[in-house]
Amino acid sequence: MSFDTVLLEKLRSARHLVVFSGAGMSAESGIPTFRDAQTGLWAQYRAEDLATPDAFRRDPVTVWNWYAWRRAMMRERQPNAGHLAVARLERLLPEVNVITQNVDGLHQAAGSGSVIELHGNIHGSRCFDCGRTSGEADGANGIDIPPRCTYCGGMLRPAVVWFGEALPMQAWQRAEDIVTDADLFLCVGTSSLVEPAASLPRLARSRGCTVVQINPDVTAHDAIAQFVLRGKAGGVLPGLLAAAWPDDS
Ligand code: OAD
């Protein structure tokens, strides 16, 4: 893939780069995207039917087990070349912030130091009743499914944002502040269908920031991007860095 020389110069001279990622960022690590059909044991369920407070109230065991299956799957996955390229950008530019919709923790595992998780992190838990956070294993006595809160005895739930729930206010506010200050915004591996996260590329563009879309498929936000790089994160991102910094091994 060849890259527009204007884009390469904008990347090299970026003062504040934001990388906004979705499930496509982790697809090459072997983690299905939301728009992929559920696989195997969970084929008969839709993510939208399991990742809600009502589903948890109705059937906490099934929802907890679905997340336990996803946690175990994600623990086996490694960052891909796209995650590693994003982490390398922190070494090449004055300021880089990652804002992710993903809950898999792979940006941090790749070495990115500033990661805002808009939708939480699957490896954490919190009490469905008192809200107290706990580690993945806390309260797990091997008997109770879901495990119980060691503080109030309520059921633990995964520390992720479910459909119909508000984003963590602090994370959202920080994301908006960061996007408002950015001069380059890479939108990677997201269908840009879920609000309010999908409003961030629009906010970036409205603030005069250069927006770059990296996705093998057409997305709802291609029209607001000055540059659309049609390809996979694991190939396009390393290629972009190699083209912008050919002497940086
Ligand atoms: P989606 O599954 O909606 O979209 C994934 C995007 O990644 C699609 O546009 C794919 O074309 C693209 N894609 C697939 N493989 C790719 C690759 N190798 N490299 C780059 N892009 C690739 O996932 P999200 O946009 O992240 O919300 O979904 C946003 C939110 O919707 C999720 O965070 C989740 C879901 O409801 C919550 O859980 C609250």
Give the C-alpha distances (Å, rounded to integers) separating 164 from 47, 63, 105, 171.
13, 16, 22, 17
Do 190 and 128 lie in one domain? The reply is no
- Which parts of the chain register pLDDT below 70? 37-43, 135-142, 249
pLDDT, residue 134, reads 78
Q: Which atom of ligand 1 sits closest to the CA of residue 33? A: 2
Catalytic residue among 83, 119, 123, 221: 119
Q: Give the 3-state secondary structure of residue 115.
A: strand
pLDDT tens-digit readout, 127-174: 999 999 876 565 566 678 999 998 999 999 999 999 889 999 999 999
227 forms beta bridges with 212
101 domain-assigned? yes
Do 193 and 237 lie in one domain? The reply is yes
Q: Which atom of ligand 1 sits closest to the CA of residue 102? A: 33
Do 247 and 133 lie in one domain? The reply is no
Catalytic residue at 119? yes
Domain extent for 50: 42-76+121-160
243 domain-assigned? yes
The number of domains in the chain is 2
201 and 227 Cβ atoms separated by less than 8 Å: no
- Where a domain ends, among 103, 133, 160? 160
Residue 248 CA, ligand 1 centroid: distance in Å: 30
Do 107 and 228 lie in one domain? The reply is yes
Q: Which residue has the tokens 């060849």?
A: 2
